[in-house]
């Protein structure tokens, strides 16, 4: 019996030893099917895409634990053949990506994982925390910008790889549009330099686009030429589309709006193409020269004008169709331009060059979205580069249009001397009229500004000074009396039990009551005093060169004037409308501020209310 047990133990030990040997011998072959860890530390940007392991989740319901089990079961596939980015196409599936980082340095390494696609709807990173459990960081273009781990137009996650250790990450991605996942690893210092350069490039593009839009907008306003207006609209929608594509719009325009990113991109692109088609029809005159083709352009304009309705309701369902629709539209427009160039239309040469560079950039971007072209600097920023060149070339086209019109005008003037003289006289008259109109308009604007300035200083309900004018007058009086060494008094008044008055008689009666109180208080002040509505049922009077007794006397006169109105107040123990007043007076100087004077008057007002209302109290008495 013992010998049999011993034989079994020997057999098991031998089998275990052979299994270990086989594992060592076959490990290189198994490694060929799995992604290699990213070796750290590195310099600059390290491509992490080729080191990813991929698992498709058609149900989009897998948890982290299930994804980890799937890796143990060998269901992940290597992406070693992918360069720069994973092009996963248009799908409703979620994808789990596994990335392993290996640090050979004797100290911990700080890295940044950069997912360079601002239009991925949902991006969730699972990274080990200090206690070894995985910490979830969920963000994406369909989530508020505040969910980003770092403030960046793309999705950037900070990582810490332990000394001489490894870090295993899981990344879950899902999108309502074509899914492209470019992943890079950065050292923190290198990423800071790259980020500054990246935002500088973005700022240059949007700055050029804004300058061109504003310049042509001014030309449109001055010339009333429809082509300039269409060009401006095209530039605006192009900027919006590229701003959404690059993530700049989500960061700076609407960081809190969920699900705006991808519908906005397609909407701006469609309307940009609509404006471009209209601009082409205006510049090339297709309605006269190519009437049949012009019908196709008009149909395309209607289609691009109506498609945004679908983007806001079913963007995922129509995204692939939209991409191909853009491709067909680009090819159609390119064909029209080529035909007009064959017809030797002067505008077509400039227009064709501008259109060609724009469409080349657009096609590069679209083919990258379809997974046909790889992800690199040209394909990522191709649309921006093409758009920038297009704007500049169209500016030359518009300048040539100016020069052409000028040459025709000069030729006509040289042939018709009398017409030229008449034109000069007409232009001179127009200039005089324009100058006169500018002067008239300037005077009107000055008058309106003065009126608005006056209105901004008056309380709309009572007709007396408002809080803004009070603040200005208080500052001026304070500065003047500080130089003169004279006292400045302030009386603060409050209508007693005004809320009860409003509740009992209604707000219209309350408004009329405030107007009566304002008129009564205005009757007791000097011409140099300033009466203002401080807020609600509170009023304030500034009395320059008035000491404490004078301020108290002014407050008592205000109480008597309001009491003399005899305005019935059924909810007041006095039976009529009354006010409580707090008076204060100080000599402006070092250590005393206007706020101190306000606080003293306010405290005296509260004392008057505490003593029974319908009375005046001097601060410090």
- 3-state secondary structure at position 167: strand
DSSP 576: B
Residue with tokens 């596994």: 98
Distances, alpha carbon 227 to alpha carbons 196, 210, 232, 233, 335, in Å: 37, 18, 9, 10, 21
CB proximity list for 292: less than 8 A, separation 6 or greater:
none
- 3-state secondary structure at position 44: coil
**150 burial level (CB within 10 Å; 0-12, 13-18, 19+):** middle
Question: What's the rounded Cα separation, in Å, for the pair 163 and 185?
Answer: 17
Residue with tokens 């403030």: 151
Q: Taking CA 78 as the corner, what is the angle to CA 72 and CA 80, rounded to the nearest 5 degrees? A: 150
Among candidate residues 72, 73, 80, 31, the one with its CA nearest the CA of residue 53: 80
- Whether 346 and 404 have beta carbons less than 8 Å apart is answered as yes
Question: What's the rounded Cα separation, in Å, for the pair 329 and 313?
Answer: 23
User: Catalytic pick from 251, 408, 537, 538?
Assistant: 537
For 8, list phi and psi in degrees, rounded to 5.
-65, -45
Concatenated DSSP letters of 148-162: -SSSSSSEEEEEEEP
Q: Is 537 a catalytic residue?
A: yes
Question: What's the rounded Cα separation, in Å, for the pair 255 and 253?
Answer: 6
Concatenated DSSP letters of 239-301: HHHHHHHHTHHHHHT-TT-TT-HHHHHHHHHHHHHHHHHHHHHHHHTHHHH-HHHHHHHHHHH
Question: What's the rounded Cα separation, in Å, for the pair 463 and 478?
Answer: 24
Question: What's the rounded Cα separation, in Å, for the pair 327 and 305?
Answer: 16
Q: Looking at the annotation, which residues are catalytic?
A: 537
């Amino acid at each position: 019996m013992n010998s049999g047990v011993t034989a079994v133990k020997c057999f098991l030990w031998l089998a275990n030893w052979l299994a270990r040997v086989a594992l060592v011998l076959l490990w290189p072959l198994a490694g060929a099917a799995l992604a290699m860890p990213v070796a750290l530390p590195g310099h600059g940007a390290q491509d992490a895409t080729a080191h990813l392991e991929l698992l498709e989740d058609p149900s989009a319901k897998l948890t982290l634990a299930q994804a980890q089990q799937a890796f143990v079961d060998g269901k992940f596939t290597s992406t070693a053949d992918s360069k720069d980015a994973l092009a996963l196409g248009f799908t409703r599936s979620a994808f789990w990506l596994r990335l392993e980082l290996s640090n050979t340095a004797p100290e911990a390494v700080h890295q940044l994982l950069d997912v360079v696609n601002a239009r991925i709807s949902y991006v969730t990173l699972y990274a080990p925390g200090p206690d070894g459990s995985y910490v979830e960081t969920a963000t994406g273009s369909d989530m508020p910008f505040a969910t980003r781990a770092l403030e960046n137009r793309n999705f950037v996650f900070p990582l810490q790889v332990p000394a001489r250790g490894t870090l295993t990450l899981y990344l879950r991605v899902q999108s309502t549009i074509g899914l492209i996942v470019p992943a890079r690893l950065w050292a923190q210092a290198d990423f800071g330099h790259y980020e500054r350069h990246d935002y500088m490039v973005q700022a240059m593009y949007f700055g050029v686009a804004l300058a061109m839009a504003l310049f042509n907008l001014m030309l449109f306003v001055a010339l009333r030429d429809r082509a300039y207006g269409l060009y401006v609209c095209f530039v605006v929608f192009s900027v919006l589309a590229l701003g959404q594509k690059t993530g700049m719009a989500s960061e700076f325009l609407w960081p809190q709006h969920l699900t705006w990113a991808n519908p906005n991109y397609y909407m701006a692109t469609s309307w940009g193409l609509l404006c471009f088609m209209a601009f082409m029809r205006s510049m090339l005159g297709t309605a006269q020269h190519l009437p049949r083709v012009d019908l196709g352009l008009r149909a395309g304009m209607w289609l691009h004008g109506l498609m945004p309705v679908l983007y806001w309701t079913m963007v995922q369902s129509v995204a692939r169709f939209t991409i191909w629709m853009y491709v067909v539209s680009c090819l159609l427009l390119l064909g029209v331009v080529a035909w007009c160039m064959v017809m030797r239309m002067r505008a077509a040469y400039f227009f064709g060059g501008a259109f060609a560079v724009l469409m080349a950039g657009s096609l590069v971007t679209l083919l990258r979205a379809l997974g046909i072209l790889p992800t690199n600097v040209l394909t990522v920023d191709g649309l921006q580069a093409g758009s920038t060149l297009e704007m500049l070339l169209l500016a030359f086209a518009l300048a040539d249009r100016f020069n052409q019109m000028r040459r025709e005008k000069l030729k006509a003037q040289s042939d018709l001397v009398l017409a030229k003289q008449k034109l000069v006289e007409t232009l001179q008259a127009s200039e005089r009229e324009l100058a006169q109109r500018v002067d008239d308009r300037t005077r009107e604007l000055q008058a309106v500004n003065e009126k608005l300035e006056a209105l901004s200083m008056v309380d709309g309900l009572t007709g007396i000074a408002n809080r803004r004018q009070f603040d200005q007058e208080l500052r001026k009086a304070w500065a003047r009396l500080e130089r003169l060494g004279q006292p400045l008094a302030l009386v603060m008044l409050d209508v007693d039990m005004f809320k009860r008055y409003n509740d009992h008689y209604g707000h219209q009666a309350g408004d009329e009551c405030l107007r009566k109180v304002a008129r009564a208080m205005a009757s007791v002040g000097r011409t140099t005093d300033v009466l203002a509505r401080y807020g609600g049922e509170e009023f304030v009077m500034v009395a320059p060169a008035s000491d404490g007794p004078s301020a108290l006397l002014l407050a008592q006169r205000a109480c008597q004037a309001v009491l003399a109105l005899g305005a019935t107040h059924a909810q007041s123990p006095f039976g009529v409308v009354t006010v409580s007043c707090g008076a204060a007076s100080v000599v402006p100087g070092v250590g005393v501020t206007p706020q101190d004077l306000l606080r003293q008057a306010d405290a005296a007002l509260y004392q008057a209310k505490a003593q029974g209302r319908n009375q005046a109290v001097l601060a410090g008495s």
